[in-house]
């Protein structure tokens, strides 16, 4: 139970997909918890020494523990910058007030050097110049307390040489700490950029497989990913005569031809707000209204189909091919989700999908065949010709329509 609570506090406000801020948010939570724990451990010692200074210090500790506890809460509320700024102010406040309470001889100001090392990790998402300014703040704060201490020694010991040597040594030590801390930061930053570059490549590959919204849900480890959509439009396109091409053309030429055509289809699906689902051999499958609902899903699918036929005609003329394109479209409810562990895919299921596939397979080359459901969605906006009532296996007789041909290029 304690471990679970501790993890909740450490990861308070952390979102996996906020890669730039992930490290900084987590580090601010950790530092606030560590600082609170150290202050709690100091309480018995100050209570044991029943002096005025000890009583003041107990009050300071309780106030600052309360303030440190606000850091995870602010991160949870997405107030990331406020949380980190407050953490620095609380930390500086405690060191300064403790020095005033117990006197400048207390070496607590050395904790400013620790803060200087922690700053790059706490503000990993800031620009290097901003990190440099923050580290300089802690360095100057440390040097200020040292100069006050040295002046105090001069007024008591009157030993100028010792004071100068001590000040020089402390200054050299502080500057060395500053340079080492900044070198560590720049090295980590360079490594972080390399990791992010590779991560962007991985994300780009993932987006080539899955819709962006689904990829984000997978990144947040949501399982299972399955959604029901009341009304969408599914499109299937298939090249008639492609099997003959596989026997006639070399493999590289065949794949290159198919890639050219499907790349054109990819651009069209994006233009008309369709989501490409997959290709199976020479068949192309897309859907409108998934994973984001779209009220004009049927119209956009039909318009996309018209442009696909136009691009297909151009493609066949460019390469002097004697093949045709069948397109089948249907509208209705579907289930969409991600399946598989390795090489997973986003797919659709339901009778509406099967019927769209039948519209394509039982259609004609050069035609866009749609079901009555799709026809009813767009009959006032596009022109159709009633074609026939066909028997679909497992679904009975279906009225089908052909979208009129404005696509003779």
Model confidence pLDDT, tens digit, residues 89-145: 888 888 888 877 776 667 777 778 877 777 777 666 667 777 777 788 888 888 777
The pLDDT score that the predictor gives to residue 162 is 66
The pLDDT score that the predictor gives to residue 90 is 87
Q: Which residue has the tokens 């700053």?
A: 119
Instruction: Show contacts of 92-100: CB within 8 Å, 24+ apart.
Output: 92/141, 93/64, 94/35, 94/39, 94/60, 94/64, 95/141, 96/141, 97/60, 98/57, 98/60, 99/145
Which has the minimum average pLDDT: 104-118, 156-170, 267-281, 307-321? 156-170
For residue 186, pLDDT over 50 is answered with: yes
Q: Rounded to two decimals, what is the model's pTM?
A: 0.61
Mean pLDDT for the stretch of residues 46-68: 82
Which percentage of the chain shows pLDDT scores above 90?
Answer: 33
Mean pLDDT for the stretch of residues 47-71: 83
Does the CA dihedral 198-199-200-203 come out positive or negative?
A: positive
Mean pLDDT for the stretch of residues 239-265: 92
Structure tokens at 219: 């990144």
Mean pLDDT for the stretch of residues 322-336: 94
pLDDT in tens, 10-50: 777 766 545 556 677 887 888 888 888 888 888 888 777 76
The pLDDT score that the predictor gives to residue 355 is 94
Structure tokens at 211: 């819709």
Q: Which of 19, 75, 16, 22 is nearest to 220 (CA)?
A: 16
**Residue 402: band (very low, low, confident or very high) from pLDDT cuts 50, 70, 90:** very high
- Give the Cβ contact number of residue 235 at 10 Å: 31
- Give the Cβ contact number of residue 74 at 10 Å: 22
For residue 234, pLDDT over 90 is answered with: yes
Phi and psi dihedrals of 344, rounded to 5? -65, 160
For residue 409, pLDDT over 50 is answered with: no
Mean pLDDT for the stretch of residues 70-81: 85
Which percentage of the chain shows pLDDT scores above 70?
Answer: 88
């Amino acid at each position: 139970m304690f471990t679970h609570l501790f993890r909740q506090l450490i990861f308070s406000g952390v979102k996996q997909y906020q890669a730039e801020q992930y490290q900084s948010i987590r580090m601010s939570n950790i530092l606030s918890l560590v600082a609170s724990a150290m202050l709690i451990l100091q309480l018995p010692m100050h209570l044991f020494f029943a002096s005025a200074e000890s009583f003041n210090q107990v009050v300071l500790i309780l106030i600052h523990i309360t303030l440190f506890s606000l850091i995870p809460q602010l991160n949870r509320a997405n107030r990331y910058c406020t949380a980190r700024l407050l953490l620095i102010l609380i930390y500086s406040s405690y060191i300064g007030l403790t020095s005033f309470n117990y006197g400048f001889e207390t070496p607590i100001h050395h904790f400013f050097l620790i803060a200087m090392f922690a700053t790059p990790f706490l503000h990993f998402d800031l620009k290097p110049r901003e990190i440099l300014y923050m580290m300089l703040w802690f360095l100057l704060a440390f040097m200020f307390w040292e100069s006050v201490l040295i002046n105090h020694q001069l007024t008591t010991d009157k030993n100028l040489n010792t004071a100068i040597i001590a000040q020089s040594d402390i200054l050299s030590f502080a500057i060395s700490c500053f340079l080492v801390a900044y070198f560590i930061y720049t090295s980590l930053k360079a490594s972080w950029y390399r990791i992010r570059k590779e991560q962007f490549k991985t994300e780009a590959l993932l987006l080539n497989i899955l819709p962006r919204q689904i990829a984000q849900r997978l990144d947040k480890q949501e399982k299972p990913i399955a959604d029901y959509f009341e009304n969408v439009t599914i499109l299937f396109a298939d090249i008639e005569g492609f099997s003959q091409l596989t026997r006639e053309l070399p493999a590289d030429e065949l794949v290159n031809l198919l890639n050219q055509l499907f790349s054109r289809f990819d651009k069209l699906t994006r233009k008309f707000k369709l989501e490409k689902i997959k290709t199976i051999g020479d068949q192309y499958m897309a859907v409108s209204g998934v994973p984001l609902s779209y009220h004009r899903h049927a119209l956009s699918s039909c318009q996309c189909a018209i442009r696909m036929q136009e691009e297909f005609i151009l493609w066949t003329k460019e390469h002097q091919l004697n093949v045709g394109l069948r397109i089948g479209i249907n509208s209705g409810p579907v289930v969409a989700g991600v399946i598989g562990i390795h090489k997973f895919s986003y797919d659709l299921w339901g009778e509406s999908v099967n019927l769209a596939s039948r519209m394509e397979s039982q259609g004609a080359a050069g035609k866009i065949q749609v079901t009555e459901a799709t026809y009813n969605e767009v009959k006032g906006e596009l022109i159709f010709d009633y074609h026939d009532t066909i028997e679909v296996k497992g679904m009975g007789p279906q009225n089908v329509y052909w979208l009129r041909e404005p696509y003779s290029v």
